[in-house]
Amino acid sequence: MGGKCAVLVGLLTAGLGGVAAAGQVHTVIVENDFFSPRFLEIEVGDTVQWTNASGLHNVFSCIPEQLGCDTTSTETFVSGPPADPIWIYSYTFQLPGPNPYICQSHAPFMTGHIEVVGTPVPAVSRRGLVATLLLTLTVSTAVLLRRRRPTRRKREV
């Protein structure tokens, strides 16, 4: 039975191999016309959570036409229009690269930067994950049924 359990665990592990582990959560405080910290270096898959403690602010990833933006963000993220506190906005970064951002109400001087490092995690489609799990369950069920099936002996005549 130990060998069959090892096969089952192996199948489950193989089926879930493309699912990334959750990354870290980094906090940025938004208040008094600044982001703190202003610069963060994070890993692919990490989440940044901005918390507006005071003032009319938002988080807006840089695009070339935006006042206060010298470069374009690798990813697009927007907390919404500038709003009074208290609000929290979170974004999980999936691609390596620079991600400058601003507060639209206080551009060009209220800026921040998220530098994402690491290798992009390949996405696993839901359909592929479901198919893998169904296959794993089917094989597991077959192994269990085979084990429980009573052996039939031929009757002597």
**CB 39 within 8 Å of CB 113:** yes
pLDDT digits (tens, 9 = 90+) for 58-110: 999 999 888 889 899 999 999 999 999 899 999 999 999 999 999 999 988 99
Domain definitions of the chain by residue range:
2-18+124-148, 25-117
Structure tokens at 43: 């890993």
Predicted confidence (pLDDT) per residue in 32-46, tens digit: 889 999 999 999 999
pLDDT of residue 17 exceeding 80, the answer is no
CATH topology for 25-117 is Immunoglobulin-like (2.60.40)
Q: Smallest Cα–Cα separation from 5: which of 143, 148, 142?
A: 143
Measured CA to CA, the distance from residue 89 to residue 78 in angstroms comes to 9
Q: Is the pTM value of this prediction over 0.85?
A: no
